[in-house]
Amino acid sequence: EIVLTQSPGTLSLSPGERATLSCRASQSVNSRFFAWYQQKPAQAPRLLIYGTSNRATGIPDRFSGSGSGTDFTLTISRLEPEDFAVYYCQQHTGTMYTFGQGTNLEIK
């Protein structure tokens, strides 16, 4: 099983700032099968990025993804108030899917 480790666990920033969230895999992941999600309280996760760098439908261009192999990054260029949430990375390899433990992006 590929383990995904997200850092930091909590990120405290102000609106307008840039956010950089990291996800490290225990083994190399095919970049086609790497995604990011946003989850707000009492809501289901929402797909943000798939295939490492492709924005899902309706996702603003302030969200961007990059990376390869074992290191992946989600960047939010200028934080809006609605961006404060928990973010999860996810990978698919073989017949398995795994998620990272999440990064809590909170207002400073």
Work out whether 44 is an interface residue with other proteins (CB under 8 A): yes
**Mask of contacts with other proteins, 45-84, x by CB under 8 A?**
xxx--xx--x-x----------------------------
Cβ proximity to other proteins: between 42 and 61 the closer is 42
Beta bridge partners of 27: none
Kindly state the DSSP code that residue 56 receives in the 8-state scheme. P
Q: Give the phi and the psi of residue 81 in degrees, each rounded to 5.
A: -55, -35
Cβ proximity to other proteins: between 14 and 96 the closer is 96
SS3 96: strand
